[in-house]
Amino acid sequence: MPKMDGIEVAGRIRDGALAPRDCPIILMLSCDDLAETIVRARAAGIETYMVKPIRIVDLFEALERSFGIADASSRSTSAAECSAIESASRSDVFNETRVLEILLADDSRDNRLLVQAYMNKMPYAIDEAADGAIAVEMFKAGNYDLVLMDMQMPIMDGYSATRAIRAFEDETGRRRTPILALTASVLAEDLSKALEAGCDAHIAKPVKRATLLAAVQKSVSDAKACDATRTS
């Protein structure tokens, strides 16, 4: 909005509240999902951040969650999935005795900041790589539970980096690490190309928080189940 944007308004409302109970619930509606904007919103005390265009089901679910009156039996599948992601920290996947190590490979600093913001408060330790070559070297030197791989990067793209990681795993006998492709394309041939390179699944850009956390949760769960099967 002109003159004073919504984040500043929210900050002033919270600063002017006599007590936390006097402050209204504030939901932010924005046209962008840049990490800098999300960080500013959280600093202003805004917990719910919705990117336009907003679907009715997502808006209702956000309102229900904010007021604490959600009725799981009345939600659509989409809303129920979003709610499940919000409570993911209570699931077995996120109740590990150790922090999950994630390698994030993306040449865009804004994209890396966005993913970091989405995963804030989750039990993850995220290392960043600005290109595929760096990602491969970091993978070889580390012990990651998951890799988030942008497919379009300079020096070495995500396809080549993924193939190099899979080759390294085969050569060293290391267990297969889940790799999620981050791609702006939803064309069947591009998705097939990512899977053929060795990715386990893909996440379409622009990345949404619920989609990202759901994909991470499923990938880690599948990897744990696979490891349990091999050792049994």
**Distance (Å, whole) CA 3 – CA 33:** 21
What's the confidence (pLDDT) of residue 229? 64
pTM of the model: 0.61
- Coil vs helix vs strand at 206: coil
- Per-residue pLDDT 10s for the chain (232 aa) are 888 888 888 888 878 766 666 778 888 887 765 666 777 777 777 767 777 777 777 777 777 777 765 443 344 434 544 554 554 444 444 445 468 999 999 999 988 998 988 888 788 999 999 999 999 999 999 999 999 999 999 999 999 999 999 999 999 999 999 999 998 876 777 788 999 999 998 888 888 888 888 889 888 888 777 766 666 5
Which domains, from first to last, does the chain contain? 6-89 (no CATH), 96-231 (3.40.50.2300)
**Of 32, 206, 24, 31, which Cα lies nearest the Cα of 115?**
206
**Integer-rounded Cα radius of gyration of the chain:** 20
Which pLDDT score, from 0 to 100, does residue 80 have?
A: 47
Grouping H, G, I as helix, E, B as strand and the rest as coil, residue 129 is strand
Strand partners, 106: none
Check if the beta carbon of residue 152 is closer than 8 Å to that of residue 175.
no
- Strands (DSSP E) contained in 61-214 are 100-105, 124-129, 146-150, 179-183, 201-204
**Pairing of the two strands 100-105 and 146-150:** parallel
What's 91's DSSP letter? S
**Predicted local confidence at residue 230, as pLDDT:** 62
